[in-house]
Amino acid sequence: MGREVWGAYSVRDHLHVHPWAADVLLYDRLVIPVPPPPGSPADPKEWERWQASGWQPERQQELLAILGERAYPVTWTPFLRDQWSALHNEAQAGLARQVDAEAHRPNAANPYIATAMVLGQGLPSRVTAVTAVATYRSLADLEAAVALRQLDPREPLPGGQLTVVLGREFLAPDPAEFTDDRDLLRAALDIEDDDVRRRRAAYWRWHREFLRDGMFIDQDSIADAVEEMQDLIADEHRAVRRSRIRLVTLFALATATAAAALLAGPLSPVALTAAFLSVGQFGVSEAFAARDPHEPSSAGLLITARKELGWR
């Protein structure tokens, strides 16, 4: 088995509308925190705490049963909760010192994003810092998590790091065709076959190799990369469309950092019908620096309708 792409989630992502129906078409597996069973001797009160918090562990268990092996449940133990607390408190302290010059307000650390970051640690060796990505449900969540901001063209790129923003269309079952989130999730799982998995793997391989090898950057190389990405997306669309399920178009926005070997001249974003790539136009929080200094790390990924992104 080759390199895999896993998405990491929070304790309440199953509460969103249409949970995981888009995610299973983007990722090989979904890393999901789960409470210990009710009355577990090691942690007898955690299930009740989830219930009291409104996290509906029963609903989560029903959806996990549908996901089957596509889910990678991780028991949300006291040890992981302590890790989460340390990370979240550190992020809050750091962000409280940063003031948004336009809105005159401090950025806020998102506790559910901190959960996904903790889960990204200790995954199997075939899942790396490049491919274990946290998923956000709104542009505001992504911006808060990574302190995403557009750079002044005159501002030097910090520490030889480039920020890469990639956008891509993908197809998912039309939620309007289903009255139940469980049936929608089953339909999304039914779309996938070996060909769809191969096409998805080809796209993520391009993503990984671009971050690793594509940093000898000029405007022409960005355009070439987007054209190649467009072709890979088109191949994946053709594979998915063989399904008889009615589909809708969604959009995935990914941000990542990578070392800059050479930056040639001013850069501008490049967009095609189903693909978008911008290099060096945005800055992100240092909290998402690579865990391995030799590997770039993914900062996050947003799944949304394209019209909500409003590229400018």
Q: Which amino acid is at 258?
A: A
Of 2-6, 56-60, 160-164, least confident by mean pLDDT is: 160-164
Q: CA-CA distance, 8 to 13, in Å (whole number)?
A: 10
Angle, nearest 10°, between helix axes 219-240 and 194-213? 170
Q: Are 66 and 59 in contact, with CB atoms under 8 Å apart?
A: no
Q: pLDDT by residue (tens digit) across 238-252?
A: 999 998 899 999 888
In the prediction, which pLDDT does 238 show? 94
Question: Does pLDDT of 285 surpass 80?
Answer: no
State the CB neighbour count (10 A cutoff) for residue 107: 21
Q: What is the pTM of this model?
A: 0.83
In the prediction, which pLDDT does 228 show? 93
The first and second tokens of residue 199, run together, are 């096409």
Q: pLDDT by residue (tens digit) across 182-233?
A: 999 999 999 999 999 999 999 988 888 887 765 556 778 888 888 999 999 9
Q: pLDDT by residue (tens digit) across 50-84?
A: 999 999 999 999 999 999 999 999 999 999 888 88
In the prediction, which pLDDT does 104 show? 33
In the prediction, which pLDDT does 254 show? 82
Question: Does pLDDT of 164 surpass 60?
Answer: yes
Question: Does pLDDT of 129 surpass 70?
Answer: no
Q: What mean pLDDT value characterizes the chain? A: 78
Of 39-53, 184-198, 278-292, least confident by mean pLDDT is: 278-292
The larger pLDDT score, comparing residue 256 to residue 34, is at: 34
- Choose from 83-87, 102-106, 240-244, 251-255 the range with maximum mean pLDDT: 240-244
Phi-psi region of 14 (alpha: psi -120 to 50; beta: other; left: phi over 0): alpha
The three-state (H, E, C) secondary structure of the chain, written as one string: CCCCCEEECCCCHHHCCCCCCCHHHHCCEEEEEECCCCCCCCCCCHHHHHHHCCCCHHHHHHHHHHHHHHEEEEECCHHHHHHHHHHHHHHHHHHHCCEECCCCEECCCCHHHHHHHHHCCCCCCCCCCCCEEEEECCHHHHHHHHCCEECCCCCCCHHHEEEEEEEEEEEEECHHHCCCHHHHHHHHHHHCCHHHHHHHHHHHHHHHHHHHHCCEECHHHHHHHHHHHHHHHHHHHHHHCCCCCCEEEEEEEEEEEEECCEECCCCCCEECCCEEEEECCEECCHHHCCCCCCCCCEEEEEEECHHHCCCC
Q: Which amino acid is at 177?
A: E
Residue 53 β-bridge partners: none
